[in-house]
Structure 1
Amino acid sequence: MRTIETVAVVGAGYMGGGIAQSLADAGIRVTLVDASPDATVAAHARLLHEAATYEKQGLFREGAAARIEANLAIAETIEDAVRNVDFIEEAVPEIPDLKRELLTRISTTACTDAIIGTNTSTLPVHTLAPAVSNPARFLTVHFSNPAPFIPGIELVCGEKTDPAILPVVKDMIHRAGHQAAEVADTPGFVLNRLQYVLFKEACAIVEEGIATTEGVDTIVRSTFGFRLPFFGPFAIADMAGLDVYLNCFRTFEQAFGERLAAPDSLRALVEAGKFGTKSGEGFRGQMTPEQAQALVAYRNNAYGQMAKLLHELGPAPLPVPTEEARPQ
């Protein structure tokens, strides 16, 4: 299998810069470039300063600042940055025409077998792929901000993406200490489709006078959000009991109609007697009683450790909205 050893990151803002830090700390040689030479030089200096600060704070592992400085170079132009590298990550603002323009420049100059990734948050691959020569080497590699600290990455292939490049990209991601999941080529993918649905419902709750913005944030971070670093929605549902979920959906459907009716997949599992952890099978598959016991023990330890960490960190320094700033 090919191994990515050299990378160019096009776009040196907080998103692209964080990606560059992550890959350089993994020992990958990274070339960074921004809209102008001055912007690139300023970004490079910022990233080295941040790396030293994060290491002193214990947020980066020992030796990270030196590794990043040794592996992070800059280029004057996009063409200079991408000409002889194994992988290019485009990380410019979410403006389709800007991304298409840069992807054309990148693919015209890069090696014919160089893999090209875009860090788009919501744009489907098929809307950008026509800008890329040889789109078989093109895919979405979506990091989250701040990239050095958030491990998850969405990988999105287009119709013409060569599946053989996926393990090559996954290997690079794994070496950088990140985790990747393949998702389908639809607007918003998984991360932002879920995140924006939650945000829209949160806004509706505030607008309806059910709770304040502070109240919603408190409930989210201290209840179901407290579980999310460890478990996704399907694992959480299995542990809660799918029969319980189905009964709750009946209440939601009566109050809010079809948009909050029970999903067909949930109904099918409950009708088959598959209630999740307590019955030994659910959304995440089969589980022995011993595995269920181990899962509960892990869950309790994880939540206990999270509670300790949050207590040590203390409350986030968030502003309290004035009455004028509250949604009406």
Structure 2
Amino acid sequence: MTENASSAAAPSIDAAGAVNAARKIAVVGSGYMGGGIAHVLALGGARVALADVSAEVAQKNYDRLLAESDEFVAAGLFPESSTEILKKNLWAAKDIEEAVADADFIEEAVPELIAIKHQTLARISAAARPDAIIGSNTSTISIADLSGPVAHPERFLGVHFSNPSPFVPGVEIIPHAGTSATTVGAVRDLIHAAGKQTAVVKDVTGFVLNRLQYALFHEAAQLVEQEIATAEDIDTLVRTTFGFRLPFFGPFAIADMAGLDVYNFCYKSLQTEFPERFATPKILSDLVDAGKLGTKTGAGFLNVPAERTPELIAYRNKAYVAMQKLIDELGPAPIS
């Protein structure tokens, strides 16, 4: 498992570095999230400047990232060359202005307070090249609201990594209404070259990742408050049932495989107790009314052809067995 984990978490410098080698990147905010993002981009081959409120803080976090890299290598999580690649590609700048002066892409990763972000983005915008792309790692703040201090806002967008950045593969890309398509494409290319996957979503409150994450948490918290189940039992159910599927299939693929007519019926059942909270989504009822019931009819949310159903089921079964083997190998998380 170590070999596969290493190649997935840290793309080879030969594969990704050749694409990113000419790129100069700055990450402003060198804490846990910013440092992790810098780690990803530097390991992906780009030359990355790390900046913070002072040169001392940036240097301290640079040293921390190298020490963490050594730990990841010792644990078999990253290739043996990882720390040397970081030493070659990552550097601590004396201030924001030095870090961004010649950068092609700048990622802001300061605390999630709009006043601090505005102040930081104003400094970045004033010191960066006018054609440099600027991203924010905000998880909830409107990208349009953040864009105010940025000159040439068409080059500004949200680039939202997840915690912990070196290990979580997905990155949420959030253009605001004025972001250019060229900017979006360039950022996706940069992120892909660092071995991550991207999804482009609209600039709405909470974007997509956190709307989904907090919707689940909200329902789970109500179940605990109403003494329907304990937090421990809810976590067990999520991990061992629908959560067990999620590394392989998103909610629409799962619905298609279950049958959209089944989902439609279940919504009606839920509505007997929660008519508003579980109102049937129109997009679902429209598909059911049109006879598009998922994989069994060859049309649904994802339109998987019916003849591919046996192949899909075979993949699903193999994936779930592999997941259980991995869980058995790792053992239970050290929570309780």
Q: TM-score range by the shorter chain?
A: over 0.9
* Aligned counterpart, 2:10: none
Partner of 2:320, secondary structure, is: helix
Q: How does 1:248-327 map to 2 (within 5 A)?
A: 248-289=266-307, 291-319=308-336
Using the TM superposition, give the Cα deviation of residue 26 of structure 1 relative to its aligned residue in structure 2, in angstroms.
1.0
Aligned equivalents of 2:66 and 2:24: distance in 1?
A: 19
**Unaligned stretches of 5+ in structure 2?**
1-18
* Aligned counterpart, 1:122: 140
Spell out, residue by residue over 1:192-227, the C-alpha distance to the aligned partner (whole angstroms, 9 max, x if none). 001011111100000001000101111111111111
**Unaligned stretches of 5+ in structure 1?**
320-328
Asked if 2 retains the 8 angstrom alpha-carbon contact of 1:83 and 1:109, the reply is yes
Aligned equivalents of 2:130 and 2:186: distance in 1?
A: 16
- Partner AA of 1:80 in structure 2: E
- TM-score w.r.t. the length of structure 1 is 0.94
Q: How does 1:161-180 map to 2 (within 5 A)?
A: 161-180=179-198
- Partner AA of 1:169 in structure 2: V
Using the TM superposition, give the Cα deviation of residue 61 of structure 1 relative to its aligned residue in structure 2, in angstroms.
2.7
Match of 1:190 among 208, 229, 232: 208
Asked if 1 retains the 8 angstrom alpha-carbon contact of 2:20 and 2:44, the reply is no
Using the TM superposition, give the Cα deviation of residue 229 of structure 1 relative to its aligned residue in structure 2, in angstroms.
0.8
Sort the Cα spacing of 1:132 and 1:264 in 2 relative to 1 into closer, same or farther, 3 A.
same
Partner of 1:131, secondary structure, is: coil
Using the TM superposition, give the Cα deviation of residue 285 of structure 1 relative to its aligned residue in structure 2, in angstroms.
1.7
Using the TM superposition, give the Cα deviation of residue 4 of structure 1 relative to its aligned residue in structure 2, in angstroms.
6.5
Q: Which runs of 4+ in 1 moved over 4 A?
A: 1-4
Partner of 1:141, secondary structure, is: strand
Spell out, residue by residue over 1:112-150, the C-alpha distance to the aligned partner (whole angstroms, 9 max, x if none). 100000000011111111111110110000000100100
Aligned equivalents of 1:4 and 1:231: distance in 2?
A: 35
Match of 2:44 among 17, 26, 32: 26
Asked if 2 retains the 8 angstrom alpha-carbon contact of 1:3 and 1:168, the reply is no
Aligned equivalents of 1:230 and 1:145: distance in 2?
A: 19
Using the TM superposition, give the Cα deviation of residue 259 of structure 1 relative to its aligned residue in structure 2, in angstroms.
1.7
Using the TM superposition, give the Cα deviation of residue 271 of structure 1 relative to its aligned residue in structure 2, in angstroms.
1.2
Aligned equivalents of 1:190 and 1:133: distance in 2?
A: 27
Q: How does 1:1-328 map to 2 (within 5 A)?
A: 5-289=23-307, 291-319=308-336
Asked if 2 retains the 8 angstrom alpha-carbon contact of 1:78 and 1:106, the reply is yes
- Partner AA of 2:173 in structure 1: L
Aligned equivalents of 2:252 and 2:164: distance in 1?
A: 26
Using the TM superposition, give the Cα deviation of residue 2 of structure 1 relative to its aligned residue in structure 2, in angstroms.
11
Spell out, residue by residue over 1:162-198, the C-alpha distance to the aligned partner (whole angstroms, 9 max, x if none). 1111221111111111000110010110000010111
Using the TM superposition, give the Cα deviation of residue 38 of structure 1 relative to its aligned residue in structure 2, in angstroms.
1.7
- TM-score w.r.t. the length of structure 2 is 0.92
Q: How many residues align?
A: 318
- Partner AA of 2:159 in structure 1: V
Q: Percent identity?
A: 53
Aligned equivalents of 2:254 and 2:22: distance in 1?
A: 36
Sort the Cα spacing of 1:4 and 1:162 in 2 relative to 1 into closer, same or farther, 3 A.
farther
